Amino acid sequence: MARVSLGSAWGKGNIVHTVEGRPIPELPDLARMHRERSDRIQEQLHAQGLAGLVLLGTSAVSYATGAAQPGADSARAGLFRPVAVVVTGEPAPHLFTPYPEGAPGDLPPDHVHPPAFPDLDEGAAALATAVSELIPRGRIGIDELPHPLRAALAHRDVVSAGSVMVPVKLRKTADELACIRIAQRCNELAMCDVMPLLRPGVRQSTLTATFLDRLHELGDVSNGIDPIWQPMPASVAAGPWTTHGDIAFPTGSTGEVLRSGDVIWCDTGIHYEGYASDFGRTWLVGAEPTARQRAQYERWQDVTDAVLALCKPGVTALDLDRGAIAANGGTKPWIEHFYLSHAVGTDSAEMPLIGTDLGETFDEQQVLAPGMILVLEPVIWEDGYGGYRAEDIYAVTDDGWVSLSDFPYDPFARS
């Protein structure tokens, strides 16, 4: 990391937070992280009886290979995509990439290949040939089959790569947690520069410009989502129509001018070494919170505290749902189309997802374990009076949890 001091504090005091006995390091050991991710993939490949993987999605390729690519919109990231081919029994993955400069140093040079274009007929045929050389027989796990590749691999037995990729990503290693912590730190530092701009008359686009500028000054990171600066209405009815009658969030930013007293729900996310941050706060434009708004924040803090009080290995996701609901007076404190909590990893939202429409039985089967990530994002809503939303990242440790976020709740902080 250039130009950014991360400080030395991992939480407060001298508590050493460990995951499977290993302290979370200040800086990740990237070679060890790549090796351990590869080990996990190999273990699952064996367990699932797969001969290999072909991965096309940005987050999956990043996880499997550690390869970097420039932050890009989905169209470009699709057409000019790095592709990973993982062979069962062969620890080093193969990387086909338009960005050879992004291949990690620990990848053998003969495993870095020219770009594949699996979305184009001739590119898909060439990739299929390479796959048949690398994985001559057996069942292949794959995350996406653009039609040209589907045709080129028609003779092969292919299944979803999810049976491998979901379990390997579920519990982070100490190095992965360090990456998430650094991503979050950079995200937070960039938001420090945005906060003072929040005065009447500022445009959303100005906030974004400042955020992106500071972000890239901080280090080797890329932006993950168009920053959200959403002025919230006082009531659901005053906001956009929704399919479920709940709040519309998050909606995209424009050049909208923010006005005095606007309640802004902001939500930003960036990537460091492939790992996503997730920043969410409620801010006010040129105003101090009213007593009611302060009370909404206090309620949010109560819900968060109640969930964290339960948080340790062995507890189920359903326990967390129930704890959050109880702390909110019996009402579900999250938005209908979202969740109480999700994880981040090389995806900005990944398992465990807690409180979704997958249902109570699903949540009861999700048992917290060391290395799991909880991005708690309760929402307190009082229809007619708006609401408070913030989110912070926590990691489940061997004996509890540790916060990977460190940002104040101004201007609401508990007195």
What residues contact 278, with CB distance under 8 A and at least 6 apart? 184, 187, 267, 269, 344, 348, 375, 391, 393
- Half-sphere exposure (CA, 13 Å, Cβ side) for 335? 21
Count of residues that bind other proteins according to CB under 8 A: 85
Neighbour tally for 19: CB within 10 Å = 23
Of residues 199 through 238, those in contact with other proteins by CB under 8 A are: 205-206, 208-209, 212-213, 216-217, 220, 222-228, 230-231, 233, 238
Q: Which of 25, 146, 167, 313 binds other proteins (CB under 8 A)?
A: 146
Give whichever of 58 and 88 is closer to other proteins, judged by the CB atom: 58
Please tell me the distance from the alpha carbon of residue 302 to that of residue 309, in angstroms, as a whole number.
Answer: 10
Residue partners of 156: CB distance under 8 A and separation at least 6 = 131, 132, 140
The residue (of 261 and 408) whose beta carbon lies closer to other proteins is: 261
Sheet holding 275-276, edge to edge: 221-223, 270-272, 275-276
Among 4, 6, 107, 158, binds other proteins (CB under 8 A): 158
Q: Which is nearer to other proteins, 171 or 271 (CB)?
A: 271
Task: Decide if residue 122 touches other proteins (CB under 8 A).
Answer: yes
Residues 18-47 that bind other proteins (CB under 8 A): none
Question: By C-beta, is 15 or 254 nearer to other proteins?
Answer: 254
Q: Which of residues 319-378 bind other proteins (CB under 8 A)?
A: 337, 339, 348, 353, 356-359
Instruction: Indicate whether 114 belongs to the interface with other proteins (CB under 8 A).
Output: yes
Residue 411: is the preceding peptide bond cis (ω within 30°)? yes
Note whether 113 binds other proteins by CB under 8 A. Answer: no
- Burial (CB < 10 A; 0-12, 13-18, 19+), residue 326, is exposed
Using the minimum distance from each CB to other proteins, give the nearer residue, 151 or 309: 151
Residue among 41, 131, 142, 404 that touches other proteins (CB under 8 A): 142
Compute the distance between CA of residue 410 and CA of residue 412 in angstroms, rounded to an integer: 5
Q: What part of residues 249-278 is at the interface with other proteins (CB under 8 A)?
A: 250-256, 271
User: Does the footprint of other proteins cover residue 5 (CB under 8 A)?
Assistant: no
Q: Which of 238, 389, 224, 383 is nearest to 303 (CA)?
A: 389
Question: Which helix (H) or strand (E) element contains residue 196?
Answer: none
- Show contacts with other proteins in window 70-89 (CB under 8 A): 70-81
Cα–Cα nearest to 215, from 240, 192, 241: 192
Hunting for tokens 């796959």 — which residue is that? Answer: 131
Query: Is the CB of 57 or the CB of 370 nearer to other proteins?
Result: 57
Rounded to the nearest whole angstrom, what is the least distance from the CB of residue 273 to other proteins in the complex?
Answer: 13
Q: Which is nearer to other proteins, 148 or 378 (CB)?
A: 148
